[in-house]
């Protein structure tokens, strides 16, 4: 931490005037400027440093915080493996190795069973619906409760929207084609994939390309065309499958070390929260705007084969997803409370979207001739 002191400037003429009027006693209205503390914090992420959207948004977050705080807070951003590994963010921020982290909640299910509800659930809430549940459906309050024992404060820090299912080195025409297939797929999607006969692998993204290239992986999910094009997966896998049933609206998180965050002045706390909410929308908007352009590049310039998963495969994934979700909810009382909040919101918003969003998309797609 650094300190900056602003010394009061007392004009000689004012001193003379005070002496003439008050017997040399300084004017009681002269007040020295208060010193302001500055903060130099570290932010660690689970993403490669310059990855579009996910990697660049934290840098923009840091610049925004510095500007809004008038230079009182400066944040240095570290990509995965620069300070800690991409899957070590939770522990490092909890311990105070860094004050801020940017990652995905589902990576921490081994520590907190219910974290996937705050990230993404197979066949669950979309990105827009997740944002609404967290902000107005009770999700944020539950999220804060779960992270508090780990000395962490979570805030929404991005959303991918509905992802692609991922990259494969062979076509998937039936459930039989999944048997023994090694795929990088984290979270509940990985558990569903395992029950369908696949072999899920959890690894940080920086290791995925080489694993696909060498055959250590047969497939990988990542995000969507904009990020996937930048990652270069089209050079080591030909088939690109949709829809992203496993991640229909993945929330990214900004996590703060609770002790250090609460020691900040209230205005800096508000600046950090607000900048994270801006990043939340920024990432969602950027991916929405760029995905189609990137997809066309993949298809037209790199001969990527776009494929839709067969209906029978999707139905089996959906059936298995319900099993996995129910089992996760039953692990403990806290998980059940989170599930009940999430499920109540899902049922309500789905009913409304059937006559609003879903009905409109269906109508928009009707041929007009």
Burial profile 325-336: b = 16 or more Cβ within 10 angstroms, e = fewer: beebbeeeeebe
Strand partners, 24: none
pLDDT over threshold 60, residue 13: no
Structure tokens, 5: 């002191």
Check pLDDT > 60 for residue 5. no
Q: Which of 143, 124, 110, 113 minimizes the C-alpha distance to 330?
A: 113
Q: What is the CA radius of gyration of the chain?
A: 25
In degrees and rounded to multiples of 5, residue 76 shows phi and psi of -100, 130
Q: What is the percent of the chain with per-residue pLDDT over 90, rounded to a whole number?
A: 87
The CA distance from 114 to 195, in Å, is: 20
For residue range 151-168, what is the model confidence (pLDDT) as tens digits?
Answer: 999 999 999 999 999 999
pLDDT in tens, 269-321: 999 999 999 999 999 999 999 999 999 999 999 999 999 999 999 999 999 99
Mean pLDDT of 177-199: 96
Once rounded to an integer, what is the mean pLDDT over residues 162-186?
A: 96
Q: What domains appear along the chain, each with residue ranges and CATH number?
A: 37-159+249-288 (3.40.190.170)
Give the pLDDT of residue 369: 81
The pLDDT tens digits of the residues spanning 69-88 come to 999 999 999 999 999 999 99
- End-to-end Cα distance, the chain: 67
Per DSSP, helices labelled H in the chain are: 12-22, 57-68, 89-95, 127-136, 139-147, 187-195, 208-214, 225-231, 258-262, 266-302, 311-329, 333-354, 357-364
DSSP string for 287-317: HHHHHHHHHHHHHHHH--EEEEPPHHHHHHH
pLDDT digits (tens, 9 = 90+) for 202-239: 888 888 999 999 999 999 999 999 999 999 999 999 99
**pTM of the complete model:** 0.87
What's the whole-number mean pLDDT along residues 103-107?
A: 95
- pLDDT value of position 129: 98
pLDDT at 34: 54
| pLDDT at residue 203, as a whole number | 85
Tell me: pLDDT of 116 over 70: yes
Question: Do the Cβ atoms of 116 and 122 come closer than 8 Å?
Answer: no
Mean pLDDT of the chain: 91
Angle CA 163–105–277, to nearest 5: 80
With bands split at pLDDT 50, 70 and 90, how would you rate the model's confidence at 7? very low
pLDDT value of position 187: 86
Contact present, 262 and 134 (Cβ < 8 Å): no
């Amino acid at each position: 931490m650094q300190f900056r002191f602003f010394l009061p400037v007392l004009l000689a003429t004012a001193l003379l005037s005070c002496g003439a009027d008050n017997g040399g006693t300084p004017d009681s209205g002269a007040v020295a400027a208060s010193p302001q503390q500055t903060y130099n914090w570290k932010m660690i992420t689970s993403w490669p440093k310059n990855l579009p959207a996910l990697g660049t948004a934290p840098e923009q977050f840091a610049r925004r915080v510095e500007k809004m705080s008038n230079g009182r807070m400066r944040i240095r951003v570290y990509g995965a493996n620069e300070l800690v590994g991409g899957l070590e963010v939770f522990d490092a921020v909890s311990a105070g190795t860094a004050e801020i982290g940017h990652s995905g909640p589902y990576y921490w299910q081994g520590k907190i069973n219910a974290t996937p509800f705050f990230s993404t659930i197979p066949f669950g809430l979309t990105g827009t619906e997740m944002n609404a549940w967290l902000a107005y459906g009770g999700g944020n309050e539950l999220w804060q409760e779960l992270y508090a024992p780990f000395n962490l404060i979570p805030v929404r820090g991005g959303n991918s929207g509905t992802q692609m299912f991922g990259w494969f080195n062979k076509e998937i025409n039936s459930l039989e084609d999944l048997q023994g297939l090694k795929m990088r797929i984290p979270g509940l999607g990985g558990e569903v994939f395992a029950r369908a006969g696949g072999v899920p692998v959890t690894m940080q993204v920086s290791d995925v390309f080489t694993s696909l290239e060498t055959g250590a992986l047969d497939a990988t999910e990542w995000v969507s065309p904009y990020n996937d094009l930048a990652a270069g997966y089209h050079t080591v896998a030909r088939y690109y499958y949709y829809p992203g049933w496993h991640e229909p609206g993945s929330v990214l998180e900004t996590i703060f070390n609770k002790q250090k965050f609460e020691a900040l002045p209230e205005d800096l706390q508000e600046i950090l929260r607000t900048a994270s909410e801006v990043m939340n929308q920024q990432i969602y908007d950027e991916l929405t705007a760029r995905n189609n352009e990137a997809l066309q590049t993949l298809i037209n310039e790199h001969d990527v084969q776009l494929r839709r998963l067969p209906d029978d495969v999707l139905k089996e994934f959906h059936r298995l997803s319900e099993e996995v979700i129910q089992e996760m909810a039953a692990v403990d009382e806290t998980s059940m409370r989170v599930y009940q909040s999430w499920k109540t919101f899902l049922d309500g918003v789905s009913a409304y979207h059937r006559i609003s969003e879903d009905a409109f998309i269906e109508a928009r797609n009707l041929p007009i001739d």
